Structure formats: C-alpha cells, structure tokens
C-alpha cells in the first residue's frame, strides 16, 4: 500500500535543522516531502528536500514581517505543517505569520515564545505561579538605574554572588557571571548599568553552583514528552576555556547523565509541566514545540537557568537520532495537541557530538574556505551501514551546519559559524567518543574542534561540581 504523503515546510538550514530533516525522512509511515525556507545552500539538507528557496533576509524574513515565508508556504499545495528551527524567527512571530495564511507550525507563537525571548518574563512567571526552581532575582527597566546600582552593591552584596542577563535574545552573549566575567559586586553593577543603557531591560539573579544539564521536552500545551538528558559544552576550547559559543559539543548516556540524579530529572520535568500550564494561563496560548530547559544540579535540587523555545543546537543532534518512534507523528501530534495519545521510544544509547568549527570561531571565524570531505570514511562509520550489517544501532551520524555549496565550483565552503557536527552513537560512552573522533578525521580545512568532549577528565570535572 502506498504511504500517505506529508508535506512539511522547514525553516532554516543549520545542524539542528539537518537533524530535524533527517529524522523526518526516516519515517516508515509516511512519504515525507520537505520544503526548505533557507538562507544558504547547505547541500546535505537540500538533498533531503523536494523544493527550497534561498531567502537573503536577516532572520529568515523577519524584516518583511515574514511576507516571503507566507508566500512560499502558500505556494505549496496541501502543505501539512511547518517546523521553525531557530530562536530569532520564533521570537519574532514566524508561527503567527504562518497561521495568518492557514499553516500550523511545530513551534510556539510569539507570546508563548517569550519563555526564551524574555528572561525576565520567565523568571516572573515562575514566581507568580509559585513554581520551584527559580534562584533569587529581580528585573529592572530603564529609569531604575539607581535601584539597580543599590541592589547590586548593597542589597545582595553580603547575600550572594550574581549574574547579569540582558532580557532579550543575544545569541548567548548577553549573560555575565560573577567570577567568570567580573570580580566584585561593584564591577558587576557597572556591566549591568551598561546593558540597561543599551537594551532597556535586564535581570539580576543569584549565581547558582553545580553541573548543568539540558532537558528538552516536546510540548503541546497539555502534555510533555521528555527527551534523554544532554549536557552541552559552551566554551570554545579544551578544558572549558575560552569564550562562550553556541555549543561546541554535547553528550548523553543510556538512561541519564552520570552527574545528575533521577530526582533531578523528575524535578526538571515537574517544573517544565508547571511552566507549560502557566504559559497558557498567562498568555492564553498553548505552548507547542520544544521546551528546552537549561538546569543546574544544586545542593537544593534542580534549578532553572533558562528556557529556550526550540530544539537546542547541538542537543537536537544527540536527541533526534535516538528517536525510535516516528518523528512526523511526534511533531504532528504536538501540533494537534494529542501528545497524550502517543508513546515515544528512544534508543537507550550513549551519544557524543562534536562540532567542527572554523579557525577563529567564535570571534573571528575564517569564511568561504574550502572543506574537504572523505565521504567513503563517513559511509564506512555510518549508523546506516552498521545497522544494516549487524542489526545494532551504533555508528556515526553527520550533520552539516554553517557550510554551503559554491554554485559555480560545487565546492563545500565555510559559512563562518559552527560548520559540521559529528555524532558517535554506541551502548558504551567511551566507544561513542571514539566514533565521533574517527568521523572528525574525515574533514579537512581550517577547522578545529574540542578533543576533550567525552573524556574522563571532563566527566570528573562535572562530578566535582556537585555541591
Ligand atoms: P543562559 O543564556 O541563561 O543559558 O546563560 C548562559 C550560561 O551562563 C549558562 O549556561 C550558565 O553557565 C551561566 N548562567 C546563567 N545563569 C546562571 C546562574 N543563575 N547561575 C550560574 N550560572 C549561570
Ligand atoms: N546548545 C545551546 C543552544 O542551543 O542554545
């Protein structure tokens, strides 16, 4: 019998979106047609599409209130739904724009997306609805400079160290942590005043201590389905040194990360369920999409660092390849608020994901340089081959991110941000790391990666953070 066709619009063309596209195309139940709304020619995603457009506008059409996106969606006959990958278009209302032309999305509407686009909104929401997991915090807006200074240098000085957070989306560059970015309360106050002058809104919050973990949950406003817990490595260089990045790599284990407890996961799930309901209560909109919670294991249990309103990048590269259930169903059931009817299964494996990034990343990346690929090696290591030969779900998955194909030469070139993500998958964590390291060798060019992600030393360092 012929499989039903599902037509899906995919917005964006990074590593996260490549992993989304691959998970969709793996569907056994449906023939999936992907329609890409992209801003670069990522050849490996394009391979998976039925059609695509390259849109040159910033943030995928935010500049024109998503007119080009609406036009593209309307040009696809019988489009089933859209998936919006990145935070910027979600925060700017891409989902609302598509609804105006009758297209539903797997992603939250603008109001519900405030969970990511306004850090103050989220902190206030937890407080108002008496949801556990908040550190001490206070929001400030323009006009409250004197109060801000007094709060930082007097009120909290003897009580706790603090973190300054720009309220809005800053691509990971709007957070300043005491001891990491500034030493004294007075220095922190100066940074806070600077940010307030620029952005008009910020949060001051208590600095928490402990290892961090990500819990991504698929949400429909009523039900959440958690993914395996994952840990990111944000610093650019080995040993957790250097500037913050979008994430240099991510790890997961069978069952759970070794440096957190089952109780921590249960706490994070309860917080996420309560926050989902509070979002509905507060905004009137159901949260449909991914509630990606960044948590810290503190001596007082799991505390919330932040929510993102989308899949993590690279977290999606670990989580989606482990999905055993049908990805189309997962996203469509979420859109139709039927997640309670779905049982979702994951392969219970370890994953080690590493991003190859351009030399100079993140501050001064080389661009447009050529990347060489040993495709034969990648094919040899692939999960697909290993699974076909042995029936064991293990091997390597590769995701292209900020790379593009030169239209004239056909060469693969660097776009300037994180370039290629490789993921080792295995029952055994050490083997997963070895697989990722082998796959890295398939690429040549002015690139670097973090050798230590997945190492014993780093795991021990995370264990040592447990207060
Ligand atoms: P965010 O953009 O909120 O995820 O913050 C970026 C990073 O800053 C986090 O991954 C943490 O390492 C750190 N951070 C944020 N908030 C806190 C906090 N309250 N206490 C300690 N570290 C924090
Ligand atoms: N991995 C960090 C992020 O997606 O925000």
| pLDDT tens, residue by residue, 128-149 | 999 999 999 999 999 999 999 9
d(CA 240, CA 71): 44
Best residue for ligand 1 mutational test, from 133, 230, 305 (most atoms within 8 Å of Cβ): 305
| pLDDT tens, residue by residue, 390-415 | 999 999 999 999 999 998 999 999 99
State yes or no: pLDDT of 325 exceeds 90: yes
| Closest protein CA for atom 3 of ligand 2 | 312
What CATH number should be reported for the domain whose range is 212-464?
3.30.470.20
| Closest protein CA for atom 5 of ligand 1 | 175
How many Å lie between the centroid of ligand 2 and the Cα of residue 103? 27
| Closest protein CA for atom 4 of ligand 2 | 312
| Closest protein CA for atom 6 of ligand 1 | 175
How many Å lie between the centroid of ligand 2 and the Cα of residue 16? 10
**Nearest ligand to residue 304 Cα:** 1
**Nearest ligand to residue 177 Cα:** 1
Query: Measured from the CB, is residue 294 less than 6 Å from ligand 1?
Result: yes
Mean pLDDT across the stretch 251-272?
A: 97
Q: What is the 3-state secondary structure (H, E, C) of 152-175?
A: HHHHCCCCCCEEEEECCCCCCCCE
Residue 250 alpha carbon, nearest atom of ligand 2: 1
| Closest protein CA for atom 15 of ligand 1 | 305
Best residue for ligand 2 mutational test, from 235, 252, 314, 417 (most atoms within 8 Å of Cβ): 314
How many Å lie between the centroid of ligand 1 and the Cα of residue 88? 19
Predicted pLDDT at 57: 78
Residue 308 alpha carbon, nearest atom of ligand 2: 5
**Nearest ligand to residue 15 Cα:** 2
DSSP letter string, 236-289: EETTTEEEE-S-SEEEE-SSS-TTS-HHHHHHHHHHHHHHHHHHHHHHS----E
Query: Measured from the CB, is residue 210 less than 6 Å from ligand 1?
Result: no
Residue 207 alpha carbon, nearest atom of ligand 1: 20
Q: What is the 3-state secondary structure (H, E, C) of 312-356?
A: CCCHHHHHHHHECCCHHHHHHHHHCCCHHHCCCCECCCEEEEEEE
Query: Measured from the CB, is residue 224 less than 6 Å from ligand 1?
Result: no
State yes or no: pLDDT of 172 exceeds 80: no
Query: Measured from the CB, is residue 315 less than 6 Å from ligand 2?
Result: yes
Q: Under CATH, what is the fold of the domain 136-206?
A: Dna Ligase; domain 1 (3.30.1490)
Mean pLDDT across the stretch 74-101?
A: 96
Q: How confident is the model at residue 161 (pLDDT cuts 50, 70, 90)?
A: very high
Best residue for ligand 1 mutational test, from 175, 230, 236, 247 (most atoms within 8 Å of Cβ): 175
Contacts of 192 (CB under 8 A, 6+ apart): 140, 148, 152, 164, 176, 202, 204
Query: Measured from the CB, is residue 465 less than 6 Å from ligand 1?
Result: no
Using a pLDDT cut of 90, give the percent of the chain over it.
95
Q: How confident is the model at residue 58 (pLDDT cuts 50, 70, 90)?
A: confident
Predicted pLDDT at 257: 97
How many Å lie between the centroid of ligand 2 and the Cα of residue 427? 25
State yes or no: pLDDT of 95 exceeds 90: yes
Predicted pLDDT at 260: 97
Residue 119 alpha carbon, nearest atom of ligand 1: 3
Query: Measured from the CB, is residue 369 less than 6 Å from ligand 1?
Result: no
Domain ranges of the chain: 5-107, 136-206, 212-464
Best residue for ligand 1 mutational test, from 136, 159, 163, 164 (most atoms within 8 Å of Cβ): 163
Predicted pLDDT at 347: 97
Mean pLDDT over each residue of the chain, to the nearest integer:
96
State yes or no: pLDDT of 467 exceeds 90: no
From the CB of residue 75, how many other CB atoms can be counted at a distance below 10 Å?
Answer: 11
| pLDDT tens, residue by residue, 218-251 | 999 999 999 999 999 999 999 999 999 999 999 9
Using a pLDDT cut of 70, give the percent of the chain over it.
100
How many Å lie between the centroid of ligand 2 and the Cα of residue 314? 6
Predicted pLDDT at 64: 80
Class for the domain spanning 5-107: alpha beta
| pLDDT tens, residue by residue, 336-365 | 999 999 999 999 999 999 999 999 999 999
Contacts of 4 (CB under 8 A, 6+ apart): 29, 30, 31
Predicted pLDDT at 65: 85
Q: At what angle do helices 119-128 and 262-283 cross, to 10 degrees?
A: 100
How many Å lie between the centroid of ligand 1 and the Cα of residue 212? 9
d(CA 208, CA 203): 14
CA-nearest of 51, 40, 33, 52 to 15 is: 40
Note the pTM of the prediction, 2 decimals. 0.97
Predicted pLDDT at 205: 97
**What are the beta bridge partners of residue 231?**
251
Query: Measured from the CB, is residue 305 less than 6 Å from ligand 1?
Result: yes
Q: How confident is the model at residue 63 (pLDDT cuts 50, 70, 90)?
A: confident
Eight-state DSSP code of residue 9: E
């Amino acid at each position: 019998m012929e499989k039903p066709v599902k037509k899906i619009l995919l917005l964006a063309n990074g590593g996260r979106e490549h992993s989304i596209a691959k998970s969709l195309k793996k569907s056994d139940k449906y023939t999936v047609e992907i329609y890409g709304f992209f801003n670069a020619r990522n050849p490996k995603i394009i391979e998976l599409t039925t059609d695509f457009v390259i849109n040159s506008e910033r943030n995928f059409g935010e500049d024109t209130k998503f007119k080009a996106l609406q036009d593209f969606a309307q040009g696809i006959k019988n489009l089933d739904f859209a998936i919006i990958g990145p935070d910027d278009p979600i925060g700017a209302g891409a989902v609302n724009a598509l609804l105006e032309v009758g297209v539903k999305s797997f992603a939250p509407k603008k109001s519900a997306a405030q969970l990511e686009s306004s850090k103050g909104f989220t902190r206030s929401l937890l407080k108002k609805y008496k949801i556990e997991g908040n550190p001490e915090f206070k929001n400030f807006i323009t006009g409250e400079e004197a109060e801000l200074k007094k709060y930082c240098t007097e009120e909290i000085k003897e009580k706790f160290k603090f973190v300054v957070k720009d309220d809005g989306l800053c691509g990971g560059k709007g957070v300043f942590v005491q001891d990491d970015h500034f030493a004294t309360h007075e220095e922190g106050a100066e940074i806070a005043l600077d940010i307030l002058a620029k952005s008009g809104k910020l949060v001051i919050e208590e600095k928490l201590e402990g290892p961090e973990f990500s819990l991504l949950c698929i949400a429909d406003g009523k039900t959440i389905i958690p993914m395996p817990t994952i840990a990111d490595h944000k610093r650019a260089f080995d040993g957790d040194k250097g500037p913050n990045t979008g994430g240099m790599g991510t790890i997961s284990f069978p069952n759970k990360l070794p440096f957190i407890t089952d109780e921590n996961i249960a706490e994070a799930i309860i917080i996420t369920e309560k926050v989902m309901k509070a979002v509905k209560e507060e905004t009137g909109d159901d949260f449909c999409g991914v509630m990606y919670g960044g948590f810290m294991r503190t001596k007082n249990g799991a505390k919330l660092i932040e929510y993102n309103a989308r899949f993590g990048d690279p977290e999606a590269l670990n989580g989606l390849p482990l999905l055993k259930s049908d990805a189309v169903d997962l996203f469509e059931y979420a859109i139709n608020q039927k997640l309670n009817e779905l049982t979702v299964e994951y392969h219970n494996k370890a994953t080690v994901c590493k991003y190859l990034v351009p030399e100079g990343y993140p501050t001064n990346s080389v661009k447009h340089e050529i990347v060489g690929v040993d495709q034969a090696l990648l094919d040899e290591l692939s999960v697909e081959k290993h699974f076909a030969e042995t029936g064991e779900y293990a091997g390597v998955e590769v995701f292209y991110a900020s790379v593009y194909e030169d239209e004239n030469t056909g060469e693969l070139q660097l776009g300037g941000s994180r370039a290629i993500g490789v993921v080792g998958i295995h029952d055994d964590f050490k083997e997963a790391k070895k697989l990722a390291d082998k796959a890295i060798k398939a690429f040549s060019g002015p690139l670097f990666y973090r050798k230590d992600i997945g190492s014993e030393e780093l795991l021990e360092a995370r264990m040592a953070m447990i207060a």
